[in-house]
Structure 1
C-alpha cells in the first residue's frame, strides 16, 4: 500500500493500565509516523490512574470529522471548523484558559458534553480573562461534574451562551451555584434555556420556573 501515508484517518484506542509495565509517550507515537508525508499527524496520549486506563488519539490534520471526543487538558490545539460536537473529560481540573482555547478551536460547536469531578484551582484568580463565547452552542450536557463548571457556563460575566439552549444538568450543583435560584449573574444565561433535563426526584417550584422563564422541563430517572 504505497499511498498509505497519504490517507486521512482518526484512531482512538483505550489501554488498560492493570498489566502495563512501560507506558507509551506522545513522542513514542510520533516516531511511528516519522515517514508519513502530506497531512500533519497529531497524537495525544492520556493516562487516567483512577480509572486505570489510558487513551491514545491519533488523527490527520486538518481534521475532517464533525466530532471530537474525550478532549483532555493535553488537547494539542488547532482549528476545527467542521466539528459540531465535542466531549471533555479529565481527572485534573479544567481551568478558565482551557475553555477559552476550546471556544476558539471549535468555532462551529453545537453540542458540548462535560465530565469532570475535580474543582477548579484557579477559579478565584484575579486574571483579566476575556468572556468565553459559544455563539452556536445549542446542546450543553453538564453531567457527572463539579459545581465549578456549572457556575462557569451559567455565569454571564464568564460565558456568553447562545439562545434556545438545551441544558442537561444535575440539580444539586445547579442549586448551589445559583444560591438556591437567587443569584442574578446566572439569570441571563438561564433565561436562554428552552429545554432543561433534571432528575425526576426534584420538585419543580414556582421560583424555579421564574428562574428559567422559557424552559420546557424534562425529568429523567
Structure 2
C-alpha cells in the first residue's frame, strides 16, 4: 500500500455509530498511502440516528475533508426509512456510474457518468426535485424511487390534469427502466402523466398493480398512454391479468 499511486474506491458501510469523514480518510487511508496522487472515491456510511451522539451536518463533514487538503470533494447527508442517516462523501468530478440513497438535498453538480440512481427520503419529492434530477443526471437509464410520502403535501392535486399544466414537462431522454413499486402512487402519476414527464425510451416498468390501475384509470386514461407505448416488460407487486385492455395500453409488450 505504501507505493500505491492511484486508487479508485467505492465503499458502502453499515453497522457503525459514526460516519466516515475526512478524519477517517486521513487516518485510515491516506496515512498508509504516502505516494498516492490520484484518489477517486465514493464512500457512504449508514448509521442509525438513535446511535449518534451528535447532529450530522453536511458543512461539518465537508470541513473535515477540507482540513486534510481534499478540495475537489463534496458530502451529502440524507435521512431514509428506518431511522437511518445515509452520509456520502465523494471526489469530484463524480466518476462512478451509480448513486444510491440520494434525497431532496444534493449539490448542484452534474453526475455525467451515472446511469443508475436510487432516490429515497422521508419527505415527499416535489416536481422541482425531478427537474433537478433530469438536469443533474443527463445519462440516467435506471431510476428507483423509495418514498411513501404523498406529493399532495406539496399542494399537488395528483389526478388533476388542470393542475399538471402548472408544471413544466420533464424529459428523461435515456431512461429505460423505472421502479416505483415502493413509492407512493403519486410518483407513478409523476412519471406516466405526459403533462409532467416525457420518457420516450422506457421499456421496463416496475410498479404496484393497484397503483398502475388507479393512475391509468384501468388502462383507459389518455394522459398516461404515451409514456407506456414502448414498455416491453412490466414487473408488478400484485397480480396483473394480461387482458386485451392491457395489451392495447402497452402495445410493445411481448
**TM-score, normalization: structure 1?**
0.89
3-state secondary structure, aligned to 2:88: strand
Match of 1:122 among 128, 144, 155: 155
**How far did 1:68 drift?**
0.9
Return 160-169 or 88-97, whichever deviates more.
160-169
**How far did 1:164 drift?**
5.1
Matched, 1:132 2:164: no
Aligned twin of 1:219: none
Gaps of 5+ in 1: 217-221
Give 1 or 2: higher helix fraction: 2
Return 119-128 or 203-212, whichever deviates more.
119-128
Match of 2:229 among 191, 201, 207: 191
Count, aligned residues: 215
Conserved? CA contact 2:65–2:71, under 8 Å = no
Aligned-residue Cα RMSD (Å) equals 2.0
Give 1 or 2: higher strand fraction: 1
- CA deviations on 1:84-134 (whole Å, 9 max, x unpaired) are 111111111000000000001111111111111101123246784321111
Gaps of 5+ in 2: 1-32, 158-162
**How far did 1:200 drift?**
5.5
Structure 2: distance between partners of 1:115 and 1:127: 25
Aligned twin of 2:53: 21
Structure 1: distance between partners of 2:200 and 2:230: 7
Conserved? CA contact 1:96–1:123, under 8 Å = no
Structure 2: distance between partners of 1:85 and 1:173: 23
Matched, 1:168 2:203: no
Conserved? CA contact 2:204–2:232, under 8 Å = yes
**TM-score, normalization: structure 2?**
0.78
Q: Go from structure 1 to structure 2 and tell me whether the alpha carbon gap of 1:4 and 1:119 turns closer, same or farther (over 3 Å shift).
A: farther
